[in-house]
Structure 1
Amino acid sequence: MADAQVELHGPAHGEGPPRRHGPVARVAVLSDVHANIPAFDAVLAEPDVARADFVVLCGDLTWGPEPQETYERILGLGERALCLRGNADRYAAGIGTAALTADTPRQAWIAERHSPEAIAFLDRLAFGLVVEIEGLGPVHFCHGSPRSDHELVTPGTPSERFAELSAAIDGRVLVTGHSHLQFDRAVAGLRSVNPGSVGLPYHTGEPGTAYWALLGPDVSLRTSRYDVEDAIARARAAVDPDAERYSDTLVNAPDPEKIVAEAERLIFVN
């Protein structure tokens, strides 16, 4: 059960219910890019991504070493890109519009590296959306959960909490991000899917692996290889205040089992 004292970060005031799209045959799902341009470029170059009817981006897009470049890549996708707000996007937009005050040098640094247009883009991102996909029906997409962009859904989320957080969705498939863990599981009578993180995954695979998913007519969990040393070099060249910690995460990713245990203990993490 959600703690009544936790502040939920759901749809923006006046946003209304999730917009609906489709029906379409194929949707590529990318989440938690975290401004890792080499990883993002590698996934965008995949033939199945290039051919997809839509590219759904499940939040935490520009919070990383190259925010503006990430925004420009998204613009290049045109109307195929359906973008959602992650908790990091909420922070970047809040700091960039002076609605929030940066708590750390990196928070200020990231916000400053967005153009006014990029900040405005983040500020109007949708909280959730629904796409009718061949073979899957209506699929609900969000960053954290359908009730807050900072609620963690993992492979270990108990059926009781999952049933509670998904109670209002239309469809049998819920796609979330935020946990940086790739999975596809049946729980509480629904299908819980996370494409994993493109730019900062938690995994046991080789460094330089980006995670994503292709939906329609079923769920296909995918990976793409990219030059991790290039990503590290770009973070350092950008003078990202968090470049060393970021780089260490790219080459020494956290253990998924530990992440699941910590996430299920905390439940809500910004």
Structure 2
Amino acid sequence: MTLHGPWPGEGAAPRYGALAKVAVIADVHGNIPALEAVLAEIDALGVDLIVHCGDLTWGPEPERTFKLLRDLPAVCVRGNADRAVVELARGLREPGDRPRDPWMPGQHSEEAVAYLAEMPFTLVVEVTGLGAVRFCHGSPRSDTECVTPATPAERFEELSASVSEQIIVTGHTHLQFDRRVAGRRSVNPGSVGLPYHEGPPGTAYWALFGPDVELRQTRYDVSESVARAHEAGDPSADTIAQLLTKPPTSAEVTAHAEGLVFSD
């Protein structure tokens, strides 16, 4: 088992706050229609900060996705897909058998790759009413660890042992939930761009923090996302279309993820 944590020499996690209202998004995966719909709602709420929990650009429209977040009061943690882009673009890993591996680096400018590389592995935000909140992608020990609504207390205690915050926010599994486990609060805002859920297609998931945690949903035109994936020449466009219109259920994803524990 390889744990994918901070870059060598990365340093301590950045800290922000105290802030009254924080929008939390994750796993955009280059889905521009979904991201634009969510950002419109966030803008109307007048939040102090947007936090993205990893896997921003690995999808049909990477460059446009990067530019949307770059120009906002937003901070991002590095997901396993963000790490993959950097490693592929900089020759630190060979393309694997995923169709997007050879295609994705060419969809990112040097500026976009640098933006992904500079994302911290994890960060902390002091939120009014909640206290210090730890944000990461997979878990506080690896960007590939799967945290789900069924993660056993024993494993959650192990994965959170290195941090002191009582609220830990993760992405990676594309599942929206808010639960108490091992004496802490485990939250996933859900995926904006590629969620796994029982709701109607064309639903993006996110959360609003402060003074408590509010799980949110935003509707958007999923047919536009499917069309744009094909127009972009995304090698995985057919797979994405299937996942956006007929996603696996939360129960199926939870069972699969808990069987793997780590997934890249």
TM-score, reference length from structure 2: 0.98
- 8 Å CA contact 1:85–1:126 kept in 2: the answer is yes
Would you say 1:66 and 2:26 are equivalent positions?
Answer: no
Structure-to-structure mapping, 1:187-198, within 5 angstroms: 187-198=181-192
Aligned pairs for 1:13-162 within 5 A: 13-47=8-42, 51-77=46-72, 80-103=73-96, 104-162=98-156
Matched, 1:224 2:218: yes
- 1:260 alignment partner, SS class: helix
Map of 1:3 onto structure 2 = none
1:254 offset after TM fit, Å? 0.6
Q: Counterpart of 1:53 in structure 2: which amino acid?
A: D
Q: Using a 3 Å threshold, how does the CA distance of structure 1 residues 30 and 47 change in structure 2: closer, same or farther?
A: closer
- Please list every run of 5 or more consecutive structure 1 residues that lacks an aligned counterpart in the other structure: 1-5
After superposition, the C-alpha distances for 1:58-108 in whole angstroms (9 at most, x for unaligned) are: 00000000000101101121xx21111000000011111111111244111
**CA 1:47–1:120 in 2, change beyond 3 Å: closer, same or farther?**
closer
- Contact 1:29 1:58 (C-alpha < 8 Å) held by counterparts: yes
Query: What's the CA shift for 1:170?
Result: 2.3
Structure 2 residue matching 1:233: 3-state secondary structure:
helix
Q: CA deviation at 1:48?
A: 5.8
The 4+ residue runs of structure 1 with deviation greater than 4 A are 47-50
Of the three residues 171, 180, 193, the one matched with 1:177 is: 171
CA contact (8 A) 2:99 2:236 kept: no
Unaligned runs of 5+ in 2: none
CA distance in 1, matches of 2:227, 2:252: 28
Q: CA deviation at 1:18?
A: 1.2
1:269 alignment counterpart:
263
SS at match of 1:46: helix
* 1:176-197, Cα deviation, whole Å (9 max, x unpaired): 0000000000000000000000
Identity over aligned pairs, percent:
56
C-alpha distance in 1, partners of 2:115/2:221? Answer: 28
- Please say if residues 94 and 123 of structure 1, whose CA atoms lie closer than 8 Å, have aligned partners that are also in contact: no
Instruction: Supply the RMSD in Å over aligned alpha carbons.
Output: 1.0
Shift of 1:10: 0.4
Task: Tell me the alpha carbon deviations over residues 100-126 of structure 1, each in whole angstroms, 9 at most, x when there is no partner.
Answer: 111244111111100011011111210
Letter in 2 for 1:171: E
Match of 1:236 in 2: 230
Counterparts in 2 of 1:196 and 1:47: CA distance versus 1, 3 Å: closer
Counterpart of 2:81 in structure 1: which amino acid? A
CA 257–122 in structure 1, closer or farther in 2 if over 3 Å, else same: same
Q: Which amino acid aligns with 1:124?
A: E
Inter-partner Cα distance in structure 2 for 1:257 and 1:237: 32
Bigger mean CA offset, 102-111 vs 202-211: 102-111
